[in-house]
Structure 1
């Protein structure tokens, strides 16, 4: 989704990788909606939702992208729901396409009306031609129409005084059948025009709201950015950047340079502008100041700029490891895939399914895909924050030697001291977007030894023989948990840790009642927690997925269950987790990852939950924010009896909050390792 004026550049020729990816996703959404509308009784009205993805495609991309999505979605719907599903997708593509194209060209209702009349005429003439040739189908259609009219007239006859109207209806319809070509043509024009205008009225309002949501963190280079790029050296001189609608700069003034072959770490507190700086280095234009490069940014182009993001799932597109490495490369480009995979520690995994990779492996695959473009500038944006200790160490090892093995510069954005120490120099951003000589970094700590010590309170959450298998009964069945037994007591503070894929997040979802175990039971006060969804509050690992409202104050009030007009409650909730109350009116998409996480926690804590599950609560938080949040949670546990379960790879400072520790290893509770250190997340 993009705001008006930020539409994709339309190229001639075959479909581009990004166009294929968007067409596939939107086709799947439309097909799923069509299937539900056809299969579920009385759900035909849901088919209108299928016009939204098609409308977005038509607005943002070339017509051939919409055609590709229509063909793919219609085939899927036909295979599952028959002709009804097929025609529903085609109808959605027609309405969405018409609306998207008209909106893109800046036209309005008159254009839609004319287009609908033309389409209705074409449809009516086609129907007349078909019924002329197919006489048996014509008789069947006429019999069905006659039956409907007869049934309607009989209903009218039961109403006093309506008998003449009922008789007139039957006689007039019989007369009209003698001129059936005109009847079918008129019906086609009226129906298509009516559906088009209704779809335009509804969909244009939906699209207008979507276009008004700024995608502020979208990577975008100048429209005329040449594939033959020279992104380094890059020099920023008194650069400022302010997001649309904001009343202050997110970054600036900043003056710095990135030289060829240099490894630079970018550090700073949440909200200091690290992500904004990344966007500027990747090609976004500053609102003030100058960015000098010898050539274009070349974002995504061979020899240009490559970016590896925090969540690898958003960058992995191929279903096979080798395919993902070369995804989107120009025709005729043949990188040495095996060599690249070996360089990032994925030797021998070229034929593996990407769905079976751990978080650390996915992140290293993203690095391999970036290296396949032979970038002159690689930007790694907190790439270790969602992987376990082993994956983090492997990533640091890979990143640390890139500038020696390749002709490239590396900019690594991080909160962690050991990662910053591996760079040649650090640029520390301060709160106003400027730079400082030093900044407090997040420390690392050894993994705590498993402990059975618990709070003296009564049993609250009980897990008895819990096992869980994904895809049960299919060839793709995968066991996530096996025979889990433990009790969480009232006022307890429990830390659960383990490597990626050990089952931590699955366990968190079961404890929150969002997932029922395949076998065993999870009880809250002796009752299955799945029957009490909401009684156990949970903060997801990916905070953005938990934020449903467009603005910070609306999100906190909605999550906590109070009126957002009660400003004092919103301020109190924000202050509690160390958020500046001035952020209350800011859009969610303008926040950093750490700020989003604190917004989620503000809403959850404002509900005063008895049990709070935090899945990687410290991910993306700077050192001061981590201390502040942990202090709040410790106080609540100690003085208010809040029961806290933390799932984390970040152990520094958790001793007071979580005196009890469980270690998960391949889905089972095991002895905790006592010698590893980590700062990454899972």
Structure 2
């Protein structure tokens, strides 16, 4: 589970839980889409095998009824769009995926799959024979069709010298077999189902085995305690936590107490165990020490514990704001939707589509959804790191007032000094390999005014944007202008900061500059040619570094991103050295890296491609002060020494003046001369 929504022990209750419904809906949509493509697109039937993956994951990780719900939902969608072929493809994917997932989950192997396939094939054959026995006209039509195919094959064979007797015997033997058609179709059903099952098991079991090897270490887990829900007052005594397969503690020893209605800020360097502490507070059992509560944790339940994560997109499940606010609540729960939305600054947005909310609005919606559960303990993990300064102030005003308006204890994990100052007290974590001297907090700075670098250009033009405009949904009633009249040039060796409020068009501009999107009007040129024709020449680092890391180990990730063989050890080590990482990290799993290390691994892979320009989207988000300084020092050195062209999109401005002498400000999709305020938010 990736959010603070309800996750009770699903095996003790019959009905589907919210997290199961969400998983079933996502996997059903994915399987239906694959099935539709496999049926509609010519020669794409082989893609149906891919559809077994989402169904296999459901069967591997959840109950059978979750798989059945996904099958019904996906089958209906596929039937409405692609007809009977789409429905049968979804059912086939559900059968193969379900069989593989269940067998894999129970630790069985190929013999079990073979026996199950024989039974399924026999049942399928009996159904086919019974159906054809009743539907005589359909039986005759199938007979005529198959006979025509056999006759055609026999005719081809008879024209081949020496094979005429084979063609004649094929026609004669098939005619004899039709007299015993029940046995023929029964045997065909058994053979086909068994063959498909074994092929699906061979392919899908390897996928599940690889996925099982990726630890979901940050998954929220509901406590097994079934007593009265009462997470506070909370006392941790010498608590330690060590993740499976590691040789050191990720947290501890930590001793702290949280009283009802108290606002506690938790700070510390990257790697000090802040996220692990969040898991312990929300119910994860520590590997050492004691956690004392008067009752159950009640994660996501009324009066229990709620968690608001750093990336609100992972917590938004409803398509409307009002739907998301009450998602997962027990039936019949009375919720004053308008009051809660007003409290977090989302007045009048109950009917709004959640897909159209800005980052700050999504975070406030996540807070409102948590408050709908009337939690006794609310844990907020870096909730302001992806939000602009005005949105950050709004969120902090909401969080700071929670302990006054509600009987809620608030634990706020943060790197920012002003956010920690707003708490009743601050707990600083230092340990587990984190630098105990690195207790400095991240300082906030005012948004700089738009400016141009003094003096002549540092180099030849690299990126040229000429009257660039972009509109989403062009030609539809939902068309929305994201950019308009953007005109500027980035020269070789330039460092340019682009900032603006959430929703001002920064990410859209970054995608256009990287060639991942084509502007609706105007042009974006790289070395005089459209950048969209040179995808990869401009490297881009996204906000969430983890989502950009696609391989299991560091060396494989860097080699894959840069386009060379992982066997070229020297190039891997050189790439790591370029971003200041220890060569020993080459063999480390991606999931074992800290947030700062993940950002540097992404950067290592991008720089190893020798890009013409580098675009960094929120590179400082989630990093402690020392990590921010180290990354900025590295980038400044690369820009000055290797004349790397850097474009930075950021809400954090402290320390960027050396990396980005130039500043551009976006407001409502256009370049402005002064930073806007909250009142100017789009």
Relative to the length of structure 2, the TM-score reads: 0.94
1:396-475 equivalences in 2 (<5 Å): 396-432=396-432, 439-453=439-453, 455-475=457-477
Where structure 2 has 5 or more consecutive residues not aligned to the other structure, the ranges are none
Once structures 1 and 2 are overlaid, which stretch shifts more, 224-233 or 542-551?
A: 224-233
Structure 1 residues 251-284: Cα deviation after superposition (integer angstroms, max 9, x where no partner): 2222222222221111111111111111111111
Partners in 1 of 2:376 and 2:82 — Cα distance?
49
Q: Helix, strand or coil: the match of 1:301?
A: coil
Partners in 1 of 2:341 and 2:428 — Cα distance?
32
Equivalent residue, structure 1, for 2:305 = 305
Equivalent residue, structure 2, for 1:545 = 547
Structure 1 residues 144-199: Cα deviation after superposition (integer angstroms, max 9, x where no partner): 11122122223333444332222211110000111111111111111112111221
Q: CA deviation at 1:343?
A: 1.2
Partners in 1 of 2:485 and 2:271 — Cα distance?
43
Aligned partner (choices 553, 556, 560) of residue 554 of structure 1:
556
Q: CA deviation at 1:299?
A: 1.0
Q: CA deviation at 1:365?
A: 0.5
Q: Helix, strand or coil: the match of 2:126?
A: helix
Structure 1 residues 511-536: Cα deviation after superposition (integer angstroms, max 9, x where no partner): 00011111111110111001100100
Equivalent residue, structure 2, for 1:131 = 132
Partners in 1 of 2:430 and 2:565 — Cα distance?
34
Once structures 1 and 2 are overlaid, which stretch shifts more, 22-31 or 134-143?
A: 134-143
Partners in 1 of 2:166 and 2:477 — Cα distance?
63
1:632-671 equivalences in 2 (<5 Å): 632-671=634-673
Q: CA deviation at 1:62?
A: 2.0
Partners in 2 of 1:437 and 1:228 — Cα distance?
42
Equivalent residue, structure 1, for 2:267 = 267
1:566-585 equivalences in 2 (<5 Å): 566-567=568-569, 569-585=571-587
Q: Name the CA shift for 1:227/1:170 in 2 (closer, same or farther; >3 Å).
A: farther
Tell me, yes or no, if structure 1 residue 380 matches structure 2 residue 391.
no
Equivalent residue, structure 2, for 1:86 = 87
Q: Name the CA shift for 1:227/1:478 in 2 (closer, same or farther; >3 Å).
A: farther
Q: Name the CA shift for 1:298/1:634 in 2 (closer, same or farther; >3 Å).
A: same
Equivalent residue, structure 1, for 2:201 = 200
Partners in 2 of 1:349 and 1:674 — Cα distance?
23
Q: Name the CA shift for 1:568/1:614 in 2 (closer, same or farther; >3 Å).
A: same
Aligned partner (choices 502, 505, 512) of residue 504 of structure 2:
502
Q: Helix, strand or coil: the match of 1:10?
A: helix
Q: CA deviation at 1:556?
A: 2.3
Where structure 1 has 5 or more consecutive residues not aligned to the other structure, the ranges are 677-681
Q: CA deviation at 1:575?
A: 4.5
CA contact (8 A) 2:482 2:504 kept: yes
CA contact (8 A) 1:416 1:443 kept: yes
Tell me, yes or no, if structure 1 residue 52 matches structure 2 residue 53.
yes
Partners in 2 of 1:418 and 1:432 — Cα distance?
26
Q: Helix, strand or coil: the match of 1:232?
A: coil
Partners in 2 of 1:45 and 1:228 — Cα distance?
52
Equivalent residue, structure 2, for 1:254 = 254
Q: Helix, strand or coil: the match of 1:209?
A: helix
Q: Helix, strand or coil: the match of 1:466?
A: strand
Once structures 1 and 2 are overlaid, which stretch shifts more, 330-339 or 8-17?
A: 8-17
Partners in 2 of 1:544 and 1:420 — Cα distance?
26
CA contact (8 A) 1:319 1:354 kept: yes
1:61-460 equivalences in 2 (<5 Å): 61-222=62-223, 224-226=224-226, 228-432=228-432, 439-453=439-453, 455-460=457-462
Partners in 2 of 1:33 and 1:675 — Cα distance?
45
Once structures 1 and 2 are overlaid, which stretch shifts more, 353-362 or 10-19?
A: 10-19
Q: Name the CA shift for 1:610/1:675 in 2 (closer, same or farther; >3 Å).
A: same
Partners in 2 of 1:394 and 1:317 — Cα distance?
23
Aligned partner (choices 608, 611, 626) of residue 610 of structure 2:
608
Equivalent residue, structure 1, for 2:494 = 492
CA contact (8 A) 1:251 1:434 kept: no
CA contact (8 A) 1:443 1:652 kept: yes
CA contact (8 A) 2:299 2:306 kept: yes
Q: CA deviation at 1:569?
A: 4.4
Q: Helix, strand or coil: the match of 2:51?
A: helix
Partners in 1 of 2:635 and 2:446 — Cα distance?
21
Partners in 2 of 1:376 and 1:312 — Cα distance?
21
Relative to the length of structure 1, the TM-score reads: 0.94
Equivalent residue, structure 1, for 2:38 = 37
CA contact (8 A) 1:10 1:61 kept: no
Partners in 2 of 1:154 and 1:244 — Cα distance?
65
CA contact (8 A) 1:8 1:60 kept: no
Q: CA deviation at 1:372?
A: 0.8
Q: CA deviation at 1:63?
A: 1.8
Equivalent residue, structure 2, for 1:15 = 16
Equivalent residue, structure 1, for 2:620 = 618
Equivalent residue, structure 2, for 1:679 = none
Equivalent residue, structure 2, for 1:518 = 520
Partners in 2 of 1:568 and 1:273 — Cα distance?
33
Q: CA deviation at 1:122?
A: 1.9
Partners in 1 of 2:367 and 2:677 — Cα distance?
28
CA contact (8 A) 2:462 2:612 kept: no
Structure 1 residues 558-602: Cα deviation after superposition (integer angstroms, max 9, x where no partner): 223444455554444335434455544332223343332222112
CA contact (8 A) 2:438 2:626 kept: no
Task: Give aligned pairs, total.
Answer: 673
CA contact (8 A) 2:380 2:410 kept: yes
Partners in 2 of 1:463 and 1:111 — Cα distance?
61
Q: Helix, strand or coil: the match of 2:659?
A: coil
Partners in 1 of 2:535 and 2:603 — Cα distance?
18
Once structures 1 and 2 are overlaid, which stretch shifts more, 481-490 or 22-31?
A: 481-490
